[in-house]
Structure formats: C-alpha cells, structure tokens
Amino acid sequence: MKNLLTALYLALLAPVAGFAGGTPAHGLTHVKKIAGPHQGRVLAGIEPRAELFVTAERQLRLTFLDDAGKPLAPPAGASVTVITGDRAAPTTLSFAADGEALLSTAALPEGGNLPAVLRIKSSGEAKLVTIRVQLNLAKCGECSRPEYACVCEGH
C-alpha cells in the first residue's frame, strides 16, 4: 500500500506539458476561484465540495460545504488521505473527525511550499478522487490569504 501511494505521488508530481506548478497555461478556461468560509481553498471536482485549510498548527482541515458554501458535517463514509512533503520520503497524513470537519492526525512536514496529493471520497458511495494542490503558505499581498487559497483574478 505504501509503495503504491509513493508511486502515485511521484507520478502526479511529474511535470505535465502545458502546466507549471498546477497553474493552467494561458488560453485555458478560467475557473472562478471560490472563497471558503475559513479562508481556505475550496476543492471543486467532488460532491459535496470541500474546503482545505492549513491550521496554525500546520494540520490540514477538510470541511465539506453545502450548495450555499456553508459547513456541512462530513457525509457518511467520507474519507481523505494526503501525501505530501519530500518526494524521496513522502509523508502520508490520515484524518479523523473533529467537530464538523476532518482534521489530519499529524502536522505537515517542514516547508512553506509543499506539493500535496489528496485522495478523497466525499461519501461512502462516491468514487475516489485524486486532487493535486500546491500548499504555498506564503501570504498573498493582494487578498491576504495564503497563496494556496488565493482568490485574486489572474493568480
């Protein structure tokens, strides 16, 4: 299992033509970025949507959202695993229920700009979805959000 996850992580980190750091090249459809209720990054591509937030303790918190963008208790069977950190020795984070959210049971490894691969099931029936996120924790000068959750046009 661990080797499989590591292989997946490395494959997803491999450079893809036309993409740089997960940012679509010019000319591709612009997807409007949505503000999450906790100033985190709203992950599209799963239903219900979820917000990914890095806490002050560097733990990852995943909050599912209803159609109005309000926090929702995690659907039954929802689960998430995150692989991040040094590609030679990736860290796998597991999550546990924390109030209305799922919280990683360990903190992120060191670093202010970590690639991360999320493996999310948004309910027991949902299929497993893989989402890549660059966890750049530097603060955006325009919207004051961390860069990974920046909602500025053109960023």
* Binding region for Zn ion (CB under 5 A): 140, 142-143, 150, 152
Report phi then psi at 91, rounded to 5. -105, 130
By beta-carbon proximity to Zn ion, the closer residue of 10 and 151 is: 151
Tokens of 154: 């053109």
Helices (H) and strands (E) in the chain, counts: 1, 11
First to last CA, the chain: 36
By beta-carbon proximity to Zn ion, the closer residue of 87 and 139 is: 139
From the CB of 58, what's the least distance to Zn ion, in Å? 21
Burial of 21 (0-12, 13-18, 19+ CB in 10 A): exposed
Report phi then psi at 134, rounded to 5. -95, 115
By beta-carbon proximity to Zn ion, the closer residue of 7 and 138 is: 138
From the CB of 150, what's the least distance to Zn ion, in Å? 3
From the CB of 63, what's the least distance to Zn ion, in Å? 20
By beta-carbon proximity to Zn ion, the closer residue of 137 and 143 is: 143
